[in-house]
Structure 1
């Protein structure tokens, strides 16, 4: 073995880290070799046999070091794979492992996960998730119509955990992907450096899948994606975490702008404005919900790409007809007033109420008259019966 090969072996040996420097490790290896040579010299043997035994012992030493290195590397890889699997489970709340919870290590495992049975059957011997199959696993999770029916316990804890059930079994896929995005962000701040690229990849995966969901909503059965988007924003405004949602939306919008092959960006976002128009037109000034929707529209008008779509959307179909402006989204908002939309409406309503009251009174009088007549008839019948009895 050459000196260069020997140096390479020592530098790649994980036990070299126990020494202060690489030079110390080399010195220790040289001393060990010298001792082996001395021991072989003391043995009664011919010169040829002595040389052979020394070379064999050195070869055995190098072989054992290589074996230890391989074993160490394989253990490192297994440990890293386990950590990646746990991280994916924490972010997406999915699993391929439905073994007994008591046999699993509870460190870093979520309480509840959706078990992807079909994918587990396809992969047969593999019961862990990694970066090569996580995209397929996430897509399979999004296609489940009722993920709550596929929940399994990941830990041996028997206490009821409603929040874990709600998070893992989230049926609305847009809200689910947003939650995955938030969990991935949290993992990025926690995981060790060697897992950081994988956490970032999971975060990007949530954005790319959200883009796919918006581009091809027809794939996902019983999912009104645009309604879910509006509801998520509404909930965020009322719950004071609107900035988190807008951060997620900014990345999704950017991804949609970069890929307009299936649908253009306006085609994707116009249904959102349709929903807002339908909801706002029936609201009054006194309703707090109106102001939440206005905050959503303010965000859209500040976001440059959404603002362009908004400007196109509020154009009336017939610019020559003034009433058509009032029917646009902007017109509906501006026409909301504490004043009556048409004069004389209140007076007409009052007249209608008076007529209804008069009709009710007449009906009551008629009923009373009928009752009185019935009573009189009964009295007459009783009198006749009494007279007949007296005659008898």
Structure 2
């Protein structure tokens, strides 16, 4: 006869097996939310010239080439490594090559990839491909994208295997992530808002996937949709995409609408300029959008709910006088020629540092990156010869970078926290 302890152990194991089975079934059910059976693929996909041109435009709006084209590589042939805290994900081949691209995919399978985050064979895709945003793309726009991609030159370019740490390299882990973090959806227009606002919401939250950079992420790397476009760190690259809802960071509420359009169209405006990852977005994507669509995006962004925090304190920041003196010397030697003795800048050329939101943001990571690596605006049709800031990382050490930024953030009426050596040493 079995001992009572053995019987209890067997019973406990049985309960655990049942619970694991139920959990697995729940994960499967959650991963099938919003999915319909794929129809049999039609024998042909007859696209109109208008549909193909529409797809070309939408590919620009989604900045598809930004991830799916390597420098010097064939257009849309994939291979670009996207670094994440969990490893590197490599973008796939979107050309119509039958063996290595999407040439054997149907329009419905392509739609499922955007809407549900599944590959042709049903395999779960990693959200470095931003299907949590692309799920809002309409079927008509998906078909137009598919039509356009079928016209680009086919490239025989096998997909590069992802390099992710265990357990993130397993479909099981991805299934759990999706169960916790992803629900397929569709864009639903707000009947109480005008058509222009709804168009802007569709572009910003869908194809534009702005939340992928400007949204905070949780420990599992999922964007926190309830916090919206309230700012987020861009993993590995060490840039910060500022909050689009805080007037202390990058909110455009209160701007002239044309200034927002100019910023997205040319990379610069009387109110601000772009650099870092956003410069690439303007260069590859938004400069090619129509004025109507840029105006719609501006309208939507200007009406985002305000999340500007109340001032934490009215007491001026305490500063080390020695650090400030050292920073002033570095500024005089390296910065004043362009940005002015009083941080006033030169309109149309070099941005003012006095009173600048970018200078006074809570986090100094973008300033550190700009000093170390340089700050470059995109070359666009509206600003073909932009001024840029050269890198100083080969001339200034970490202590000097911390000192000059501490000085800039504390001079001419600026009152942001000093920059520490520890912050500049983070690579």
Shorter-chain TM-score tier = under 0.3
- TM-score, normalised with respect to structure 2: 0.25
- TM-score, normalised with respect to structure 1: 0.27
Instruction: Tell which structure's C-alpha radius of gyration is larger.
Output: 1
